[in-house]
Amino acid sequence: MKLTVYLAGEIHSDWREEIKKKSAALDLPIDFVGPMEIHERSDNIGDDILGEQSTAIAKDHAASSFNNLRTSVLMHKADLVIALFGEQYKQWNTAMDASAALASGKPVILIRPEKLHHPLKELSRKASATVETCDQAIKALTYILE
Question: Which residues contact residue 118 at a Cβ distance below 8 angstroms, ignoring those fewer than 6 apart?
Answer: none
The span from the CA of 70 to the CA of 27, in Å, is: 27
Site for its own copies (CB under 8 A): which residue of 63, 84, 111, 134?
A: 63
Minimum CB separation from its own copies for residue 112, in Å? 10
Cβ atoms of 10 and 90 closer than 8 Å: no
**Which residues are 3's β-sheet partners?**
30
Site for its own copies (CB under 8 A): which residue of 18, 36, 47, 86?
A: 36
Site for its own copies (CB under 8 A): which residue of 18, 22, 47, 79?
A: 79
Nearer to its own copies, 15 or 85 (CB): 85
Minimum CB separation from its own copies for residue 21, in Å? 19
Minimum CB separation from its own copies for residue 13, in Å? 17
- The answer to whether 95 contacts its own copies (rule: CB under 8 A) is yes
List helix spans (H) across 9-133. 15-25, 39-50, 56-77, 92-103, 121-126
**Which residues are 115's β-sheet partners?**
none
- The answer to whether 90 contacts its own copies (rule: CB under 8 A) is yes
Site for its own copies (CB under 8 A): which residue of 17, 72, 113, 115?
A: 72
What is the distance, to the nearest Å, from the Cα of residue 34 to the centroid of all Cα atoms in its chain? Answer: 6
